[in-house]
Amino acid sequence: MELSTERIDTVTLIKLCGDVDANTARDLEQTLSEEQAADHHQLILDMSEVDYVSSAGLRALLGGLKVARSSGGDLRLAALQEPVREVFDISGFSTLFEIFADRQAGLESFLVP
């Protein structure tokens, strides 16, 4: 999995490419932790290039969500591919996260009052 971050106004956009599984979840946790340590709590994950999320990946996302919300922010998801969306629906995670059709809609959810 590859990660890249971009700041857009008050929002940090994190683009994920590849699988989020037991081998890569730690990288995601570290990136989320670094952003949150820098006081960046409005986070969007662009998951348009993620084909698979394992239970380890879901745990990493849930941990990031809890920290963001406890700091007055949020972790929102954008552009989930159908197989990934099914994992979120089956696991109940789609009720925990705000999920947007694309990154622009996710950005606007933070930037437009």
**Is pLDDT above 80 for 102?**
yes
Retrieve residue 88's tokens.
Answer: 């979120």
User: Half-sphere exposure of 22 toward its Cβ, with a 13 Å CA cutoff?
Assistant: 0
What whole-number distance in Å separates Cα of residue 48 and Cα of residue 67?
23
Q: Say what the pTM is.
A: 0.94
Q: Is the pLDDT of residue 113 over 90?
A: no
Q: Determine the Cα–Cα distance for residues 41 and 19; give it in Å rounded to an integer.
A: 24
Domains and CATH numbers, the chain: 2-111 (3.30.750.24)
Under the banding of pLDDT at 50, 70 and 90, the label for residue 90 is very high
For residue 25, give Cα distances in angstroms to 1, 19, 62: 9, 9, 11
pLDDT digits (tens, 9 = 90+) for 55-70: 999 999 999 999 999 9
